[in-house]
Amino acid sequence: MASTGKAGALTPEERAERERARAEREARIRDKNNRMGVTVFQGSWIMVFVCLIIVNLQMRFSPGWLVEGAQLPDLLMPTVATVLLVLSSVLGHVALNAVKADRVTVFLTRWRAALALGAIFFVMMMQQFFAVDLNDGQFASVYRLMIGYHALHALAIGYMMLQVYRYGVAKRYHAQNNWSVEATVRLWDFVTVAWLMFYVVLYLV
């Protein structure tokens, strides 16, 4: 019988299997930590948006909130922009599922559509930013503050989406490497949820 070396020594196959198991375990821990980090970041970030909503609601009862004859923003464009943003977020999830299934072509197509809809949303909200007259009272100032603050976040994460698309074209993402895609989708979800809250307060309440 051929000797396998010292008693208890691992064969090359066993060592390779242990290495694979260790790498998979470390990958699971890393993904768990990444997701927890993004969740904590989103939770702390959303509080700023909640504070802006509270400020808006409180100032409505102060003198000078809205001057007589002030023109309130039209509801149509913000509603269309909101629908486009929600569709963009949905397409982001479709793209993420596609890359996890190694359907890279579908991922790129859906991601490009999500990016385009996000860009249209941003342009429409910039139009809304200038749709109010600052002479119309505190309402106009708070309105621009909320729109502008959200737009800055949408622009920053939109840039991340553009970078993901560039790296996707370079074929960096696949079933085993897609964390950047997932993180960006989750941050874009944050932009969507934050805007839905703003939309209710700015246009419906």
Q: Which residues pair with 177 in a beta bridge?
A: 174
Fold of 12-204: Four Helix Bundle (Hemerythrin (Met), subunit A) (1.20.120)
CA distance 189 to 2: 60
Sorted by where each begins, the domain ranges of the chain are 12-204
pTM of the model: 0.82
**Res. 46 pLDDT band, cuts 50 70 90:** confident
**Res. 19 pLDDT band, cuts 50 70 90:** confident
- The number of residues making up the chain comes to 205
**Res. 1 pLDDT band, cuts 50 70 90:** very low
